[in-house]
Amino acid sequence: MTNMRQKKIMKGFGIFFTVMIVFTMLSRAADSVNVVQVQVKTIQNQMISHKVTGTGKVVGIREQAVFAKENLKVEQVLIQEGQSVKKDEILLKLSMDSILEAWKDKNDKIEELNLKIKDLKSLDQVNKNKKVFDQDWARRSYDISAQNSSISVDNARLEVEVAQQRLDEFYQNREIARRQAAETEAEESMDGGTSFIGDAGDRSEDTKQEDGFQSDIKKENIGGTSGVDGGETADDTAQEQALIDDLRVKQEALNAAIAGQNQELAAAEKTIEDSQLPEAFDSTLENTERELANSQEDLEKLNQLLMEEGNIRAGADGVVKSLMAETGTITTEAAVAVLYLTGGNLRMTGTIYKEDLKYVEIGSTVSIEGSNGKEIEAASVETIREDETDPDARVISIQLPDDSLSIGETAEFTISKDAGPFKSCIPLSALHEGNGAAYVYVIDSQNSVLGEVWVARRVEVLMKDKNQSLAALEDGSISSDQKIIIDSDREISDGSRVRLQEL
Amino acid sequence: MKKIWIIFLGILAAVVVFPILFLIVGSFMGKNELTGLIQPVLDTNARGYASWKLIPEYPTLRSYVELLLDSLEFFVMFWNSVKLTGGILMGQFLVGVPAAWGFAKFEFPGRKFLFTVYIAMMMMPFQVMMLSNYLVLDSLSLLDTLSGIILPAIFSTFPVFIMYRFFAGIPEAVLGAARLDGAGELRLFFQIALPLGSPGIISAMVLGFLEYWNMIEQPMAFLKTKELWPLSLYLSNITMEKAGVSFAASVIVLLPALLVFMAGQDYLEQGIIASAMKE
């Protein structure tokens, strides 16, 4: 009984150890599968080559706009953007109805303009004739005014002379009478009166000669006084005063006549000057004539379009850059299409990221691979400008050698710029970033229950530069003998057990 | 009166068996359940007291699967324990059995003194012998090797003492008859001593297995390389994350000890009785 029990126990022992052996092997197999396999590499002294790549489209440098007569309906557009066209190839077709309608309108307008020009010319001639007549009439009016006013003045002057003469005769007669009275009185008394009269008579004569009419009045007064004093009668005095007054009236009339003459002559001269004034320039006729010429040119174009049956053709071989016309729309003054002319230099435009600008500059050499695999090395960056649609992008223009690619072709461009050499370069796959810090995993041996095993250790590093495949670290971040994990078959973390991948 | 004794002893047995039950129940618990129950013990930041259940809320074999298929460390340490225990027991068999036979049946000068020294050595705890062991192992370049653990244990005095009692019980008449029949000393040893002293040898081996299977002080003192550690040190490295695995590991570690105990239960009792007898 005891032996049976012991045998069972021993059998159980055997089973237990057999099971443990099996699970040991299974566990080892599972462990070998579960342990992360990694590839390692040490830091290397390398150059960092920055490559900026992108896709661009080849365009021409020389452009040609294709225009069509405005306000015509587009019946059919036969091209599309990017399409190659030959010289005289039909690009689009305009509606014949709209061309005929425009032709008729233009004809009517030309006829209308012709009539208008005729009217304007006639009016101009009439105006010129009228101006000549007005000038002649003004001159004649001046002459007549001059003659009439001269007659009036002469008459007034004559009246003054007559009045003066009368006054003079009065004085003479009074003098004669005074002399006669003096002689008579002298005869009666030989003193005084004669010398007094004589002095008065001399003075009166001098005054007359010097001062004219006013002197005559003085002389008259003096004489009067003398006369009174000499015993003149009241009738003489009244007559003298009447004559003086008459002379004054005549003199005023003369002055008025002279003033009137001057006024009339000034008015006549004004009329002459007015008639000679230049008239405002009127360009209506010239404008109308110019409008007529334009209309005739338009008509000529319409005639050509009619002869072409409304077809708009390419002026040269090229590729359609842009197409503004659409079927059913109305043409405008703007071009209906723009062509890149084939031949000569080409340009390629592409987009790069803003952060790649530090690797691209004007004049940088560009490698280009066309869609058919053709490689071009002699290209260079021509311009760099902002992309209006994307603030984080920049549009670069690349000048291509003559006839290297076809207009409209899509090509891959690569711009390279080397930096370094850097002492601590690692593959970019080895560099990890998190929480704003860059780090790598290096392998480290660890004494564990399983023996000496490799574990991943996180080491924070400072990055100096990087490209699509390499990263340059600050010197001293990693020692030259540390093995950096560059690849693993699954995600690893600090302390993960790893084993080196068998190559 | 007898029923009272049975109930009393049953309660005591339940108390003694509870840790085993504790282990078995824990090995079938899920991680979350275990965390909720024993986190205050394993997590220094946790507050409160650990608690326990006799029936898992959601029984699972996950811990056993993880232990058996995804814990290579456990197997490395398991086989280290097997190597240590096996090596020690084999060495003790090779060294201890002849020594015990010699003490039991050969008369030589100083035998009594030497045996007294043996007894005295047996009484000394490991800590007393640790420094001298260390110096000797260091001079033999056996530090941090399994041999460094095995070698001192091979010369343990306790199995000699156990087996001595059994060999001493072999009647001299049997040996004398064999000698008269022409048997030499080796023949006496192999054909008389070993068969008749087998209960003592087995009991010494069973006791030795139970001691060295759970050996913890010597590996901790002499083994720096974790690769050589036995299972007894694996359990000391258990964290909250692997609590379930540790319960499963404890159950599996228990199995060989249980089997050995069951196989040598009868001899073990004899051995314990023999060790209790005075010279």
A78 and A160 share one domain: no
- Is the same domain home to A160 and A205? yes
Closest partner residue to A27 (CB to CB) among B69, B225, B266 is B69
User: Which residues in chain A show pLDDT less than 50?
Assistant: 193-231
Q: Tell me whether residues A23 and B75 touch, CB distance under 8 A.
A: yes
Task: Tell me, yes or no, whether A202 and A132 share the same domain.
Answer: yes
What's the pLDDT score for residue A279? 77
Q: How would you classify residue A451: left for phi > 0, otherwise alpha for psi between -120 and 50, otherwise beta?
A: left
Q: Which residues of chain A approach chain B closer than 8 Å at the C-beta?
A: 2, 5-6, 9-10, 12-13, 16-17, 20, 23-24, 26-28, 30-31, 34, 447-452
Task: Indicate whether A145 and A255 sit together in one domain.
Answer: yes
By C-alpha distance, the chain A residue nearest B72 is A27
Angle at A421 between CA A416 and CA A422, to 5 degrees: 115
Using an 8 Å CB-CB cutoff, list chain A residues near B68: 23, 26-27
B75 touches chain A (CB under 8 A): yes
CA distances from B40 to A260, B48, B49, B220, B242 (A): 138, 6, 6, 26, 15
Whether pTM exceeds 0.90: no
Same domain (yes/no): A28, A87: no
The nearest alpha carbon in chain B to A23 belongs to B68
Q: Do A449 and B70 touch (CB under 8 A)?
A: no
What are residue A81's DSSP bridge partners?
Answer: none
- Phi/psi at B47 (nearest 5 deg)? -110, 165
pLDDT of residue A210: 44
What is the nearest CA distance from B100 to chain A, expressed in angstroms? 26
CATH number for B70-276 (one of 1.20.1420.30, 1.10.760.10, 1.10.3720.10, 3.40.1670.10): it is 1.10.3720.10
Cβ–Cβ of A449/B266 closer than 8 Å? no
Question: What pLDDT was estimated at residue A207?
Answer: 46
Whether B76 and chain A come into contact, CB under 8 Å, resolves to yes
Asked if A451's CB is within 8 angstroms of B74's CB, the reply is no
Distance from CA of B67 to the nearest CA of A (A): 9
Give how far A17 is from chain B: nearest CA, Å: 9
Of A27, A31, A450, the CB nearest to B227: A450
Domain identity same for A425 and A461: yes
How high is the pLDDT of residue A227? 44
B266 chain-A contacts, CB cut-off 8 A:
2
Facing A9 at nearest CB: one of B76, B226, B259: B259
Chain B residues whose CB is inside 8 A of the A5 CB are 262
Answer whether the bond into residue B152 is a cis peptide, omega within 30°.
Answer: no
Cβ <8 Å between B259 and A12? yes
A25 lies in the same domain as A68: no
pLDDT score of A217 = 47
Q: Do A9 and B71 touch (CB under 8 A)?
A: no
Name residue, tokens 């036969």.
Answer: A78
Question: Which CATH number fits the domain that encloses residue A70?
Answer: 2.40.50.100
**Looking at residue A280, what DSSP letter applies?**
P
Same-domain pairing of A442 and A483? yes
Cα B158 to chain center, whole Å? 12
- Angle among Cα A353, A357, A361 to the nearest 5 degrees reads 135
What confidence score (pLDDT) does residue B272 get?
Answer: 67
Q: Could you tell me how many CB contacts below 8 A there are between chain A and chain B?
A: 61
Query: Can you give the pLDDT at residue A499?
Result: 87
**What's the per-residue H, E or C state across A425-489?**
EEEHHHCEEECCEEEEEEEEEEEECCEEEEEEEEEEECEEEECCCEEEECCCCCCCCCCEEEEEC
Residue A370 lies in a domain: no
Coil/strand/helix, residue A59: strand
Chain A residue with CA closest to B231: the answer is A449
| Chain A positions in Cβ-Cβ contact with residue B219 (cut-off 8 Å) | none
Chain A residue at shortest CA distance from B230? A449
- Please tell me whether residues A242 and A167 are part of one structural domain: yes
Interface of B with A in 217-256 (CB under 8 A): 225-227, 229, 234, 255-256
In this complex, the residue of A10, A27, A449 whose CB is nearest that of residue B68 is: A27
Q: Among B74, B79, B89, B226, which would you mutate to test the A interface (most chain A Cβ atoms within 10 Å of its Cβ)? A: B226
Decide if pLDDT at B145 tops 50. Answer: yes
Closest chain A residue to the Cα of B225, Cα to Cα: A447
B205 and chain A: CB distance < 8 Å anywhere? Answer: no
Half-sphere exposure of A288 (CA within 13 A, CB side): 17
Domain of residue A433, residue span: 35-48+421-500
C-alpha A485: how far from chain center: 63
Q: Is B68 close to A26, i.e. CB distance below 8 A?
A: yes
Q: Please give the C-alpha separations between residue A359 and each of A53, A89, A419, A466, in angstroms, as whole numbers.
A: 11, 44, 10, 12
Q: Is the pLDDT of residue B42 over 80?
A: no
Interface of B with A in 77-96 (CB under 8 A): 77-79, 82
Greater model confidence, B46 or A109: A109
Instruction: Give the chain B residue whose CA is nearest to the CA of A19.
Output: B68
Would you say the C-alpha torsion B86, B89, B94, B95 has a positive or negative sign? Answer: positive
B244 alpha carbon, distance to own chain's centre: 24
C-beta atoms of B227 and A2 within 8 A: no
Please tell me whether residues A330 and A432 are part of one structural domain. Answer: no
Interface touch B69/A23, C-beta < 8 Å: yes
Query: Do residue A24 and residue B259 have CB atoms under 8 angstroms apart?
Result: no
Cite the residue boundaries of each domain of chain B with CATH code 1.10.3720.10. 70-276
B144 vs A contacts (CB less than 8 Å) = none
Mean pLDDT (chain B) is 86
* Tally of structural domains, chain A: 4
Question: Angle, nearest 10°, between helix axes B194-213 and B265-276?
Answer: 90
Chain A residues near residue B77 by CB distance under 8 angstroms:
449
A348 domain residue, yes or no: no
Tokens describing residue B217: 């002080």
A-chain residues near B227 (CB < 8 A): 447-452
Structure tokens at A266: 């000034």
Q: Is B74 on the interface with A (CB under 8 A)?
A: yes
Chain B residues with CB inside 8 Å of A21's CB?
none
Q: Chain B contacts of A20, Cβ < 8 Å? A: 75, 78
A310: its two tokens: 């409304």
Instruction: Please answer yes or no on whether B77 and A20 come within 8 Å at the CB atom.
Output: no
Q: At which residue do the structure tokens 């250790």 appear?
A: A457
Do A222 and A264 lie in a common domain?
yes
Task: Find, in chain B, the residue whose alpha carbon is nearest to that of A24.
Answer: B75
> Cα(A119)–Cα(A113) distance, rounded to whole angstroms?
10
Assess whether A493 and A459 both reside in one domain. Answer: yes
Interface touch A30/B69, C-beta < 8 Å: yes
For residue range B18-36, list pLDDT tens digits in order.
Answer: 888 888 898 898 888 888 8
